[in-house]
Amino acid sequence: MQADRSLDVNLTRALEESKRLADQVKPGADRWDVIVVGTGAAGGMATYQLAMAGVKVLVLEAGRMIDVKTEYRTMEWPYASMRRQRLPPGERPIAIAEYNFLDRPYGGNTAYRQSSKVYSYAANSFTRNWVVDEREHPTTGTPYAWVRARVLGGKTNFWGRGALRYGPLQFNAASRDGFDVDWPISYDDVKPYYDKVDMLLGCSGTKEGLEQVPDGVFQRPYKLNCVEVAFKRAIARMGRHYIPGRAGVTTDGVLNKYRAKCAGRGRCGRGCDIGAAFHSPTALIYPARDTGRVTIRPYSIVSEVLVDQGGSRATGVRVIDANTREVMDFTARAVVLGAGTLDTARILLNSRSPRHPDGAGNSSGLLGCYLSEHIMGIRGSGYMPVRIGTESTLDDGRPVAPYIPRFRNITDRHPDFIRGYHFQGGGGCGEFPSMAHEIPGYGKAFKSNVRKYYPAIISFGGFGEVLPRKENRVLLDPDVKDAWGIPVLRFDYRFRDNELKMARDMADSIEEMLHVAGAEDIKIEREPLPPGWSIHEIGAARMGSDPKSSVTDPFCRLHDVKNVYLADASPFVCGGTQNTTWSILAMSWRTMDGLLEQMRTGSL
Amino acid sequence: MEQLADPHSGLVTRRTALKTFGTGLGTAALLPWLSDQGLAAFAGIQAANAVPNPKVLAPSQFATLETLVEAIIPADERSPGARAARVADYIDLLLSELERERVLEWFGGLAALDAAAAARFKSNFAALNAEQLDAILADISRNERAPQSPLELFFAVAKQATIQGYYTSEIGIQQELRYKGNKFLRDFVGCETEDGKDCPHCGQKHSGQ
């Protein structure tokens, strides 16, 4: 295999720091009040809140430390790499299981459809050192594209920046359409935390007054470009909104020495090397560590929560060192799980003891059930006449595309499905003209047609709510184990009738909007991507007031083991159409307030 | 990229990389953000402009491929074409990593092009004049959306690879598309109607609805 120097990032500093910390931090090395598992949005916010409140925290990260200055290669051009930033075969870390990331020239050609699968934005030369290798981390059961990152900051190092709130339509969804149950908490309970997250981390957006996606405390918004203004004006006549994307990026600055404000370079998905985009290390972990109350132990794979003889209290967690495979038990007064929805569920399912034979927190039998995310893959594109044949402009110097908020089942009732979907998308000149693949012909005519239509492209992708259903679930596989001997997850998860009808309507509605906007050469993709593709997984340890029908209480604390708190999206009841990260941050903050209150009142 | 390690080419230092780089682009803001490795890789590609060093393709196959990619995206008054953008080197690299049956399809496609050229014009594909090239390309691109014959299928695949290689090259991005992004801005520019003005780029009026 040919060497490609752009793949060879110098990780020496991060690896040395990781080894030093892993060697130093052993059971008994110190006394910690709380153990936090995971360093992404959930674990990062939990660590930050606890450290700022004066609590001593042990943070366990399954992967290594990160060297953000070296690893965030924000402005690297494609031609800095002989492979143009694609990964060589065998180097695609999440290609091994069900998904064969056959890229163009084969991936886009109908003749190779049978061998072509999908090319994930999450597997590229920028993320290859962060995303897990499925040969070490297999899954079984139904296909599920489970994207995991084992490195400080987790998936927040390359997340999509969409910073949307849940609103009353999510918290009270069941009251509106009779399906399933409401959350045990309301938007009013979480709104103050969303506001505080906006102020702490910076959120760019515009006040719109829309019930389906409540406004926040916004910093300077990003503008629409020319094709987007034309599209917005057209669909306004249908009563539809098309608004600037809401981004978890600071445009006016925040009080954090690791972060500068956005400079409009538009390469955030590789990690923002000036820290304008929210990434957990720069935004939360480093400031928390500066308090002196945070100990980070990398290479720490948590296999289970340890529960005392009585079964109602956790004593700590069991850690397998990723390198040495040494098994260590760390103890603390409380345990916060922020390993990500699915890994948190897996840790709990694997925490089996005489009192909890089916896993800690599973007396309801519902641990692993009600897994949900978003159905996506439905796309539409076309050329907006206002920019056909015009010269290039700077159209992509921003972290997110604009956004068509949900418009179904808000005031009306769709005959075919409940809940709804939204579209994210925009257009204009991007770095790579993917529309060129659709321009016929060759030679000078082809080349000038690419140039002619390049500024005019507009395209959208839909995100639809997958209904939370008991039968969409994960279990521990009885036979298959990961590279460290921990049982892997077996998925039993499918899109069902409501999702598939919704997907049909998504395709029809984006086609209609593109027609109304006068777009030329409209193309519609009607096939959903495989389950898991949204990377918006929620549920699997849902919250509720009744221990018989839920896993955690309304403060995301296990009903059964009162000093274990879930900081990620695993307790979420339903997820609307919104990207999940901002809700994880708000809920993690709220959950830590609950934990701190218990510490103050002495019950911990 | 192996030439980087070749003692005869000399070790590519940051200084030499910068020197190569500086002649191509006036983007001083970019430099601090490129890693040493990125600069070295980039310098290597620039250096490769001297002599192609194919890994998989024989010289005659490489010549056929270069002729094909240049016919798909030729030089014109605005910018150089796929040959100057080293698209054939890029495809050769991809072929070096593809499974064998795919590589054999490319070999077959290139041989079929030469066979077509010989049958119609008694010449190698690489030696055809512009008119002859156009005659063959018109033929094999006819069913691009639903390719039937092996040559039609090969054209569709080769075109996709050419697009991928050309528009990710420095020539494709900077000279042909005149892409304006990936730089430090105080504010995202956007449509000027968003600032309450009439927009010179799209002709939309700020008052328009």
Nearest CB neighbour to A79, from listed B99, B156, B170: B170
Per-residue model confidence (pLDDT) at position A476 = 98
List the structure tokens of B55: 């890994």
Is A32 part of a structural domain of the chain? Answer: yes
Q: Are residues A224 and A355 in the same domain?
A: no
Per-residue model confidence (pLDDT) at position A523 = 95
What is the least distance, in Å, from the CA of A529 to any CA of chain B?
A: 22
Per-residue model confidence (pLDDT) at position B188 = 81
Task: Tell me how many residue pairs between chain A and chain B have CB atoms under 8 A apart.
Answer: 235
Q: What is the number of domains present in chain B?
A: 1
Is B117 part of a structural domain of the chain? Answer: yes
Three-state SS letters, A545-590: CCCCCCCECCCCEECCCCCEEECCCCCCCCCCCCCCHHHHHHHHHH
Q: Residue B68 carries which DSSP code?
A: H
Task: Answer yes or no: do A77 and B39 touch at CB < 8 A.
Answer: no
Q: What is the number of domains present in chain A?
A: 2
Q: What is the mean predicted confidence (pLDDT) over B104-126?
A: 93
pLDDT digits (tens, 9 = 90+) for A495-554: 999 999 999 999 999 999 999 999 999 999 998 888 888 899 999 999 999 999 999 999
Q: Are residues A290 and A365 in the same domain?
A: yes
Q: Are residues A227 and A288 in the same domain?
A: no
CATH of the domain at A446: 3.30.410
Which residue spans within A440-599 are E strands per DSSP? Answer: 457-465, 473-481, 487-492, 520-525, 564-566
Q: Which helix (H) or strand (E) holds A586?
A: helix A581-601
Q: Which helix (H) or strand (E) holds A422?
A: strand A421-427
Nearest CB neighbour to A104, from listed B30, B164, B203: B164
Q: What is the mean predicted confidence (pLDDT) over B55-61?
A: 91
Q: Is the pLDDT confidence value at A274 over 90?
A: yes
**Bigger pLDDT: B176 or B7?**
B176
Is B24 part of a structural domain of the chain? Answer: no
Q: Are residues A148 and A279 in the same domain?
A: yes
Is A8 part of a structural domain of the chain? Answer: no
Q: Is the pLDDT confidence value at A477 over 90?
A: yes
| Pair type for strands A457-465 and A374-383 | antiparallel
Is B76 part of a structural domain of the chain? Answer: yes
Q: Is the pLDDT confidence value at A278 over 70?
A: yes
Q: Are residues A458 and A408 in the same domain?
A: yes
Q: Is the pLDDT confidence value at A348 over 50?
A: yes
Is A9 part of a structural domain of the chain? Answer: no
Per-residue model confidence (pLDDT) at position B29 = 24
d(CA A20, CA A424): 43
What is the least distance, in Å, from the CA of A392 to any CA of chain B?
A: 6
Q: Is the pLDDT confidence value at B209 over 70?
A: no
- Domain with B169, as residue range(s), is 55-176
Is A94 part of a structural domain of the chain? Answer: no
Is B77 part of a structural domain of the chain? Answer: yes
Q: Residue A522 carries which DSSP code?
A: E
Share of chain A above pLDDT 90, in %: 84
Q: What is the mean predicted confidence (pLDDT) over B94-110?
A: 81
Q: Is the Cβ–Cβ distance between B29 and B185 less than 8 Å? A: no
Q: Are residues A314 and A441 in the same domain?
A: no
Q: Are residues A432 and A392 in the same domain?
A: yes
Arithmetic mean of pLDDT over chain A:
92
Cα distances (Å, whole numbers) of residue B115 to A224, A442, B120: 52, 21, 9
Q: Are residues A436 and A570 in the same domain?
A: no
Q: Which residues of A touch B201 (CB under 8 A)?
A: 226, 387, 390-391, 393
Share of chain A above pLDDT 70, in %: 93
The nearest alpha carbon in chain A to B54 belongs to A2
Is A123 part of a structural domain of the chain? Answer: no
Q: Are residues A505 and A559 in the same domain?
A: no
Q: Are residues A499 and A488 in the same domain?
A: no
Is B26 part of a structural domain of the chain? Answer: no
Q: Is the pLDDT confidence value at B106 over 80?
A: yes
pLDDT digits (tens, 9 = 90+) for B128-162: 999 999 999 999 999 988 888 889 988 988 998 89
Q: Which residue has the tokens 């600032």?
A: B195
Rounded to two decimals, the pTM is 0.90
Is B31 part of a structural domain of the chain? Answer: no
- Domain with A429, as residue range(s), is 210-245+374-465+495-530
Q: Is the Cβ–Cβ distance between A221 and A208 less than 8 Å? A: no
d(CA A552, CA A572): 10
d(CA A579, CA A601): 35
A10 in contact with B, Cβ within 8 Å? yes
List the structure tokens of A246: 């809401």
Q: Which helix (H) or strand (E) holds A194?
A: helix A187-201
Task: Give chain A's end-to-end CA distance (angstroms, integer).
Answer: 56
Q: Is the pLDDT confidence value at B32 over 50?
A: no
Nearest CB neighbour to B194, from listed A81, A224, A265: A224
Per-residue model confidence (pLDDT) at position A284 = 98
Is B104 part of a structural domain of the chain? Answer: yes
Q: Is the pLDDT confidence value at A95 over 90?
A: no
Is A115 part of a structural domain of the chain? Answer: no
Arithmetic mean of pLDDT over chain B:
78
**Bigger pLDDT: A144 or A564?**
A564
Q: Are residues A433 and A461 in the same domain?
A: yes
Q: Is the pLDDT confidence value at A422 over 70?
A: yes
Task: Answer yes or no: do B184 and A264 touch at CB < 8 A.
Answer: yes
Is B84 part of a structural domain of the chain? Answer: yes
Q: Is the pLDDT confidence value at A557 over 60?
A: yes
Per-residue model confidence (pLDDT) at position B147 = 84
What is the least distance, in Å, from the CA of B26 to any CA of chain A?
A: 14
Per-residue model confidence (pLDDT) at position B105 = 81
Task: Answer yes or no: do B33 and A447 touch at CB < 8 A.
Answer: no
d(CA A475, CA A342): 10
Q: Are residues A61 and A169 in the same domain?
A: yes
Task: Answer yes or no: do B34 and A105 touch at CB < 8 A.
Answer: no
Is A522 part of a structural domain of the chain? Answer: yes
Is A171 part of a structural domain of the chain? Answer: yes
